[in-house]
Amino acid sequence: MAHGADRAPSTVPRADLARAAGCEVCREWGTVVTDDWRHELCPACQTGERPADSVTKPPGTRLREQ
């Protein structure tokens, strides 16, 4: 009997799109691409400590334009 390959863990983090709604940093995607081409959760909308004005201010780290 043939068996398929085991699923590899996803390298792209899963974002909560409900939290990403209205975020200008990630443009409602919930993830950002860093300078070294890694996908990471948006620091503005995907963290637990989201201040009200964080969606209009870019995070401290430099993010690549998407």
Asked whether the beta carbons of 29 and 44 are under 8 A apart, the reply is: no
Q: Is residue 26 part of a domain?
A: yes
Q: In terms of residue numbers, what domain contains 51? A: 12-61
Q: Is residue 7 part of a domain?
A: no
Query: One digit per residue, pLDDT tens: the chain, 66 residues?
Result: 566 666 666 566 789 999 999 999 999 999 999 999 988 999 999 986 655 444 445 555 555 555
34's tokens:
């860093």
Asked whether 56 and 29 are in contact (CB, 8 A), the reply is: no
Name the pTM for this structure: 0.55
Closest CA to 21 of 58, 55, 60: 55
Nearest-angstrom CA–CA distance, 25 and 45: 8
Question: Whole-angstrom Cα distance, residue 19 to residue 9?
Answer: 23
Domains contained in the chain, number = 1
